[in-house]
Structure 1
C-alpha cells in the first residue's frame, strides 16, 4: 500500500508503455546504437542548438534543416529541402543502405541516380520555428523508418506512431511534445493550424518517449522541464521517475545495454 502511495502517477496505460519500450528497443537495434550512445543529444528549441544570423526566410529554413539533419545523424543522406515544387522523382525505395546508416560513417546511396530526395516547405512555416523543426525531424524519421526492412512492433498499422517515436529516439522529444497538440481556437493570429504537423503519438505518449530517452541518456530532469510547455512538466516528471524506478528490470536487452 505504501509503495503504491509513493509511486509516480502513470500517464499512459500498461500496453502503451510496453509498446513504447519495445519500439525504442527496435529503434536501438535497427538505427545504430553507437550513434545513440555517443552522438545523440537532447535537442532543445534554443539558440544553442539553432544559432546564427540569416538574411532571408529561405536561408533560415535551410539552416534549420541542415542542423536538424545533423542532429538526426542523417547528414550523409541525400535529402534536400526546397520551397519550390520538388522536381526530383527519387523515392525512399531508390535508396541503397549499407551496414551503417546514421552518423559520420553512414553508407547511403541513391540507386541509378544522383538526385536527392526532396522535402518541401512553405515560407509561412518559418514563422513557427518549433513546428518547422518538428515537421523536418518527423519527415527525416519517416524516411529512416520506411527505408528499414524490419517493421516496428505492431507492424505497418503502427508506422505513424513508430515514426514519431523514432524522432524522440533521435533527440527531438521536447520539440515533439511541445508540438503534439496545438490550440485551434481563440485569436486567429496566435496560431496557424495549417502549419502544425500531424501528431501520431499523444502528448502523454510523447512525454513518455521523451522521458525514456532522457533516462537512457542520463539527462537530468532539470535540463528538460524549463523547455516544456507548462502543462506538460508534471507528466514528464512522473514519466521520468517511473522509468527511472523500473528500467533496470526491463526484459529488453537493447535497453539494458544502455542502462548498465
Structure 2
C-alpha cells in the first residue's frame, strides 16, 4: 500500500527561486568542465589540508594556500595580512570591558596588484570558520568584476556570495560556521558567546550544499558525516526535496557555460 504523505519542502517561493537562479548564474560563468572534473567537496581532513605547521604564523598562511588551491585560484594574486589583535577586555578579577571595539574577522579589498584579505588573529582558534571566511572572501574576488549582476541585483551580492563559496566546494565549512554558540574562559571569567557568520541561514546553506552534491554526483552521506549532527536531518530533507523535483536541477545543468573569457586569471592552472 502506497503512502500519500509528501515530505515538507525545506525551501519554497522566492528563497528557492534565488538558489536556482544563483546556481544558474554561477554555472554560466564558472561551470563547464572544471566544475565537474576539478571542483571538489572540500572536507575537514588531512587529504585537503595536509600541511603541518610549526608556529601560529603558519596556520593562516598554509590554510589560505589550500583554500586558494581548492578554489582553483592559485594564480590569482592575493595578499593575506594579519590584523592587529583585538583589545584585551579583561582587566583582572571579574572586571570586563563591555562593548569593547573589535576588528572584523576577515576583510576583502581589491587593488591594482590584486586582492588583499585581512584576518583577525582570533580566527586561529577556529579553523573551520577560518576556512569558511577565506572561501567567502575568495568568492567575492571571483565574481566581483563580472558585468552581470547576481540574481536580484547587486544588493543581493552578499547572499549570492554565500552560495558561491558553496559552489567552490566549501559548503561544509560554511554550514558548520554560520552560527557558533560556545563557552569561553577569560582568566577568572567564564561565560557563553555566540557568533553569526554570513548572510544566509544554515538551512539555506544546507540546501545550497545539497544542490552542489546532486550536481556533482556526491553521495549525501559523505557530506552529512561532516555536518553538525543537529543539522543532518535538515540536509537529508533538502536532498529529498531535490530528488522529488529534479526539473530545477536539470534547469541548472542545462545552462550554457560562456567560457573563461570573464575570468580575471586562469583557474585550476
Q: TM-score, normalised by structure 2?
A: 0.77
Q: What does 1:58-97 correspond to in 2, within 5 Å?
A: 58-83=57-82, 92=110
**Helix, strand or coil: the match of 1:142?**
helix
Q: Deviations over 1:24-66 (max 9, x none)?
A: 0100101242221111110111222112211111111111001
SS at the partner of 1:51?
coil
Aligned to 2:259: none
Shift of 1:188: 2.2
- Cα 1:257–1:124, aligned 2, differ >3 Å: closer, same or farther? same
Q: Does 1:144 align with 2:132?
A: no
Over 3 Å counting, the alpha-carbon distance change for 1:91 and 1:224 in structure 2 is closer
In 1, are the aligned partners of 2:67 and 2:134 still within 8 Å (CA)? yes
> What do residues 190-223 of structure 1 show as CA deviations (whole Å, max 9, x unaligned)?
8765xx5631010110000000000000110111
Aligned counterparts of 1:244 and 1:251: Cα–Cα separation in 2: 9
| Preserved CA contact (<8 Å) 2:20 2:252 | no
Q: 1:156 to 1:187 in 2, by over 3 A?
A: same
SS at match of 2:67: helix
Partner of 2:41: 42
Measured in 2, the distance between the counterparts of 1:199 and 1:235 equals: 19
Counterpart in the other structure of 2:201 = 202
Question: Contact 2:39–2:70 at 8 Å: present in 1 too?
Answer: yes
2:89 corresponds to:
none
1:145 CA drift (Å) = 2.2
- 2: distance between equivalents of 1:240 and 1:9? 12
Task: State the alpha-carbon separation in 2 of the partners of residues 136 and 41 from structure 1.
Answer: 16
Secondary structure at the residue paired with 2:254? helix
Partner of 1:31: 30
Aligned mates of 1:199, 1:123 — CA distance in 2: 19
Is 2:184 the partner of 1:188?
Answer: yes
Distance change (3 Å), C-alpha of 1:70 and 1:242: same
Q: Which residue of 2 aligns with 1:18?
A: 17
Structure 1's unaligned 5+ residue stretches are 95-109
> What runs of 5+ residues in structure 2 fail to find an aligned partner?
85-107, 186-190, 257-269
Give the drift of 1:122. 2.8
The structure with more strand, counted as a fraction of residues: 2
Aligned to 1:169: 167
Answer with 1 or 2: which has the greater Rg: 2
Distance 1:91 1:225, change over 3 A: closer
Aligned-residue Cα RMSD (Å) equals: 2.4
Q: Structure 2 CA distance, aligned partners of 1:250 and 1:69?
A: 30
The secondary structure found in structure 1 opposite 2:128 is: helix
CA pair 256-83 structure 1, distance change in 2 beyond 3 A: same
Q: Secondary structure at the match of 1:53?
A: coil
Within 1, Cα distance between the matches of 2:196 and 2:116? 18
Query: Residue 46 of structure 1: SS of its match in structure 2?
Result: coil
Aligned residue number for residue 157 of structure 2 = 159
| Length, aligned pairs only | 227
Are positions 1:121 and 2:122 aligned together? no
Q: Shift in Å at residue 179 of structure 1?
A: 0.8
| Residues in 1 aligned to 2:82 and 2:234: alpha-carbon distance in whole angstroms | 37
